[in-house]
């Protein structure tokens, strides 16, 4: 009995302790019948958690407050507890008032006597789950913020030498979980050009001097080797012994910003390097920025211009207020203004410019600034003036050539018939003296027509290769006699001077014309300088002289210390019949002739002069690589008479009649026709031999004289040809004929000259 009593007391004590634990547990405890799933007993904590009284709880089964699983899933779960003996899991439970709570369940199988039951402990983890969700939401928000900002975070532990990183930092560096996150691993990600710098920065500055880590540097992503710019910022935590414990920081991807900065820097450099002057002003017109070209154009530096209004710096006074109002009305309305205006440089000089002003709008669509693009038109105006001058000279040249052509035909008739009449009359006849005056006047007119032809580049020339130094030396004595004793002559020739190819006599004419003009410019005496040199005209020279081709030239310069000339005179100096000399002291054709001769030789003539400071004429002739030719020997005088048959082709009736009369008077048999077609018919029909074809180069109708000669030679290879020319718009034809060794005679000609030329051609082998 004693033992039984002791056992009963022990059971009562155990039951009491279980009851205390059951009732006092902070977690809900429920005993559930393993067979029916109904509640056997629930403690006070379970009643509080689910909001049921004990009596209400006793009527509930587990499926009544299970909120996550279906009844079938709950039964399957209970079966798992039966078979395994225990289980713990998280689930959701629904309270009496419908609230859903997070619960952690520990379930065990127990025996109540011989009846199996489930002993379940319910821990309400709703608060913990809410905290976890809040933490996760915060972490997600932080991760999203890092991703949006391109900022990753890290913590470096100096004890282990390793660092932890956020997802965004891993993305920036292109690393995954397998990457070793050590200091060495970080340096391995730094661009090779930056590794030494960043290692020294971390060791010496951040850890050595204790400064905050704040650096922009370049990295190479591990995943794809892409170079990226990053901005690292971090702070070191120190212990009591001033030893680094950890470093917390961020890494921001600033590649786009860096590229934008580089692009802006490039754009700024490009705009500043642009040859186009640019100005940016605010809406009120105050200058905010200018480029270097603006400074070069106006003379105002950026410091002098910024903060000022263009009207205070550049206004010329040429335009009235209405002009500027029109500009402002245009750009304030949001339109682009383009136009030409005159502005003033810092030195006070005026210059023309083409300007384009464009409104610039801000993010709200409002006009905030204006950008002005300027182009200095000074050189353009100069080139335009040169072009117009060249056009004018070309037009005058064509006019002069046309006049010379018609005039030559008239002079040919006048000279021819005058000679005929003079030869028919006895020398003692009283009309002879009058006819001699007519002859002299006609010969003088012929000289003028040759000058006009020279100006219009249509004069017949015989070019040779020679050295200009030889020409200067050859006429030295003639020049000294011409200028007189009160003018000092200085010649300076380049011993290595190249050769030129042109008509030697024409260049001598140019030089003598320039010397005479220089003498006349120094009536009280002075110094005359003649120089030669090899020069190279580069691509810059044609910008000032539009009719020049860059290349190697021989320069012949004539300078005087005389009175000089004004800009107005310089622009007209080469025009025919323009002269500054007194009436009767100059025809105005000297410099015009020089101009035409030099142009016909493929060269360029330029004048440099200022009033009171003298004048320099520079003649540039293309330098040739050929050796100089020896001077032609004088031909012996040929007779002027013959008995041969000559076919004369001339489209001008009066010239044709007088030429035929001249030849017939010299003994020749002459057949005269007006065209090449008529000439061919004569050759085909003429049974007697013909000895010479005398034809004008340019015929009014049908084939030209050159074409006629080629067809005649096919029919009669032995027939000699003499060409007559008074004018041609295509001087190349004449040069080509000369190069072929053919003979030409230029209108107007005398009977004697014609006879010599005809005899020369007929007697040639």
**pLDDT (tens digit per residue) in 69-91:** 788 877 777 788 888 888 888 88
**Residues 42 and 116 occupy one common structural domain:** yes
CB 559 within 8 A of CB 614: yes
**Residues 143 and 199 occupy one common structural domain:** yes
Tokens (6 digits) for 289: 């920025």
Tokens (6 digits) for 379: 């050189």
**Residues 119 and 169 occupy one common structural domain:** no
The answer to the question of residue 421 being in a domain is no
How far apart, in whole angstroms, are the C-alpha atoms of residue 44 and residue 53?
8
**Residues 479 and 590 occupy one common structural domain:** yes
How far apart, in whole angstroms, are the C-alpha atoms of residue 630 and residue 24?
139
The answer to the question of residue 448 being in a domain is no
The answer to the question of residue 268 being in a domain is no
The answer to the question of residue 453 being in a domain is no
CA dihedral 325, 326, 332, 333 (to 10 degrees): 150
The answer to the question of residue 560 being in a domain is yes
**Residues 120 and 135 occupy one common structural domain:** no
How far apart, in whole angstroms, are the C-alpha atoms of residue 219 and residue 172?
9
**Residues 169 and 53 occupy one common structural domain:** no
Beta strands per DSSP E along 625-736: 645-649, 669-673, 692-696, 720-725
Tokens (6 digits) for 125: 């983890």
The answer to the question of residue 383 being in a domain is no
CATH at 558: 3.30.565.10
**Residues 332 and 224 occupy one common structural domain:** no
The answer to the question of residue 634 being in a domain is no
**Residues 240 and 337 occupy one common structural domain:** no
pLDDT, residue 443, reads: 66
Percent of the chain scoring above 70 in pLDDT:
83
**Residues 658 and 618 occupy one common structural domain:** no
Residue numbers of the chain with a pLDDT score lower than 70? 7-8, 10-20, 140, 142-143, 145-147, 149, 270, 273, 381-409, 442-462, 542-547, 576-590, 630-639, 726-742
pLDDT, residue 182, reads: 93
CB 651 within 8 A of CB 628: no
**Residues 19 and 109 occupy one common structural domain:** yes
Element of type H or E holding 375? strand 367-376
How far apart, in whole angstroms, are the C-alpha atoms of residue 575 and residue 592?
6
508 φ/ψ sector (left φ>0, alpha ψ -120 to 50, else beta): alpha
CB 708 within 8 A of CB 649: yes
Q: Is the pTM of this model over 0.75?
A: no
379 φ/ψ sector (left φ>0, alpha ψ -120 to 50, else beta): alpha
Tokens (6 digits) for 317: 């006074």
CATH at 207: 3.30.450.20
**Residues 89 and 218 occupy one common structural domain:** no
**Residues 164 and 139 occupy one common structural domain:** yes
Last residue of a domain, one of 335, 350, 376: 376
Q: Which residue has the tokens 């005359």?
A: 528
Tokens (6 digits) for 383: 């080139």
Last residue of a domain, one of 360, 376, 392: 376
Contacts of 502 (CB under 8 A, 6+ apart): 461, 463, 464, 597, 600, 601, 603, 621
Per the structure, the count of domains in the chain is 5
Last residue of a domain, one of 259, 294, 315: 259
For the stretch 223-252, pLDDT in tens is: 999 999 999 999 999 998 899 999 999 999
The answer to the question of residue 414 being in a domain is no
Q: Which residue has the tokens 């009767």?
A: 584
* Residue 665 domain boundaries: 645-763
């Amino acid at each position: 009995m004693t033992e039984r009593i002791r056992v009963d007391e022990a059971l009562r004590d155990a039951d009491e302790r279980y009851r205390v634990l059951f009732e006092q547990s902070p977690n809900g405890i429920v005993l559930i019948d393993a067979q029916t799933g109904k509640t056997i007993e629930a403690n006070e904590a379970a009643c509080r958690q689910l909001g049921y009284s004990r009596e209400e709880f006793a009527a509930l089964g587990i499926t009544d407050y299970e909120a996550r699983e279906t009844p079938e899933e709950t039964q399957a779960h209970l079966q798992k507890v039966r078979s395994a003996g225990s289980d713990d899991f998280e689930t959701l439970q629904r309270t009496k008032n419908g609230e859903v709570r997070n619960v952690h369940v520990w379930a065990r199988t127990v025996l109540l006597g011989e009846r199996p039951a489930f002993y379940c402990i319910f821990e309400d983890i709703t608060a913990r789950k809410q905290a976890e969700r809040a933490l996760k939401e915060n972490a997600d928000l932080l991760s999203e913020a890092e991703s949006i900002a391109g900022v990753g975070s890290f913590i470096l532990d100096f004890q282990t030498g390793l660092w932890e990183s956020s997802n965004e930092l891993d993305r920036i560096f292109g690393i995954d979980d397998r990457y070793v996150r050590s200091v060495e691993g970080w340096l391995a990600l730094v661009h090779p050009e930056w590794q030494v710098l960043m290692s020294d920065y971390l060791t010496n500055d951040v850890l050595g001097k204790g400064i905050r880590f704040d650096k922009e540097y370049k990295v190479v992503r591990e995943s794809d080797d892409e170079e990226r710019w990053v901005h690292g910022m971090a702070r070191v935590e120190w212990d009591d012994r001033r030893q680094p414990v950890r470093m917390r920081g961020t890494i921001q991807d600033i590649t786009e910003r860096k590229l934008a900065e580089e692009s802006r820097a490039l754009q700024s450099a490009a705009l500043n390097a642009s040859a186009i002057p640019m100005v940016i002003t605010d809406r009120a017109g105050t200058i905010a920025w200018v480029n270097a070209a603006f400074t070069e154009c106006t003379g105002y530096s950026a410091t002098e211009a910024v903060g000022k209004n263009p009207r205070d710096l550049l206004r010329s006074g040429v335009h009235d207020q209405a002009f500027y109002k029109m500009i402002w009305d245009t750009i304030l309305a949001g339109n682009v203004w383009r136009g030409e205006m005159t502005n003033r440089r810092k030195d006070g000089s005026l210059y023309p410019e083409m300007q384009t002003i464009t409104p610039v709008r801000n993010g709200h669509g409002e006009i905030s600034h204006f950008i002005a693009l300027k182009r200095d038109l000074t050189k353009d105006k100069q080139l335009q003036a040169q072009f117009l001058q060249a056009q004018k000279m070309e037009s005058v040249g064509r006019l002069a050539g046309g006049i010379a052509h018609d005039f030559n035909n008239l002079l040919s008739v006048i000279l021819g018939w005058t000679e005929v009449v003079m030869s028919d009359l006895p020398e003692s006849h009283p009309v002879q003296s009058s006819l001699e005056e007519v002859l002299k006047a006609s010969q003088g007119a012929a000289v003028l027509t040759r000058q006009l032809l020279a100006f219009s580049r249509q004069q017949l020339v015989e070019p040779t290769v020679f050295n200009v130094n030889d020409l200067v030396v050859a006429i030295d004595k003639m020049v000294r006699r011409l200028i007189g004793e009160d003018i000092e002559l200085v010649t300076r020739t380049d011993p290595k001077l190249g050769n030129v190819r042109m008509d030697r006599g024409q260049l001598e004419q140019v030089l003598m014309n320039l010397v005479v003009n220089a003498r006349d410019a120094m009536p009280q005496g002075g110094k005359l300088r003649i120089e030669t040199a090899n020069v190279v005209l580069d691509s810059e020279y044609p910008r000032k002289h539009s009719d020049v081709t860059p290349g190697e030239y021989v320069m012949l310069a004539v300078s005087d210390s005389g009175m000089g000339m004004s800009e107005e005179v310089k622009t007209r100096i080469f025009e025919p019949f323009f002269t500054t000399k007194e009436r009767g002291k100059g025809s105005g054709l000297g410099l015009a002739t020089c101009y035409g001769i030099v142009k016909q030789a493929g060269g360029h003539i330029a004048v440099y002069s200022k009033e009171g400071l003298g004048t320099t004429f520079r003649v540039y002739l293309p330098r040739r690589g050929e050796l100089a030719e020896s001077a032609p020997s004088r031909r012996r005088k040929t007779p002027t008479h013959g008995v041969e048959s000559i076919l004369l082709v001339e489209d001008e009736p009066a010239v044709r009649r007088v030429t035929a009369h001249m030849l017939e008077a010299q003994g020749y048999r002459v057949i005269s026709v007006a065209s090449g077609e008529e000439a061919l018919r004569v050759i085909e029909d003429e049974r007697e031999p013909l000895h010479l074809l005398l034809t004008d180069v340019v015929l009014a109708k049908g084939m030209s004289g050159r074409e006629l000669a080629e067809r005649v030679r096919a029919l009669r290879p032995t027939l000699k040809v003499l060409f007559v020319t008074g004018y041609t718009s295509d001087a190349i034809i004449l040069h080509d004929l000369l190069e072929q060794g053919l003979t030409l005679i230029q209108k107007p000609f005398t009977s004697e000259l014609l006879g010599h030329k005809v005899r020369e051609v007929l007697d040639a082998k």
